[in-house]
Amino acid sequence: MIDIFRASVIVLILTIFLCLYRVLAGPGVENRLIAVNTVGTKTIIILVLIGFIYERPLFLDIAIVYAMINFIATLAIAKYLGRGCVC
């Protein structure tokens, strides 16, 4: 069962590289923002899987904090792109 989770982590890492390509060569700023958000979401999933594989519940707490930071940062950047300021 653990091998399935390890394979999932490897597949997620490979798809992160595909998203990083979209960040670097994206056709627009909005597509790049979505790609960065996707990388953050996949990182959260990887943290949860690593915590499960090594039986460390602390990784779940770290993943939750990272999810909040990822969500707030995405909202702030989207608001900045839409209005020109974060205020």
**How many folded domains does the chain comprise?**
1
- pLDDT by residue (tens digit) across 65-74? 999 999 999 9
Residue 81: pLDDT band (50, 70, 90) is confident
Q: Report residue 78 as tokens.
A: 């989207």
Single pTM value for the model: 0.87
Helical packing angle, 58-83 and 29-53, nearest 10°: 170
pLDDT in tens, 7-40: 999 999 999 999 999 999 978 888 999 999 999 9
**Beta strands in the chain, from DSSP E residues, in sequence order:** none
| Chain center to CA of 70 | 7
Residue 58 makes CB contacts below 8 A (sequence gap 6+) with: 51
Domain carrying residue 57: 2-83
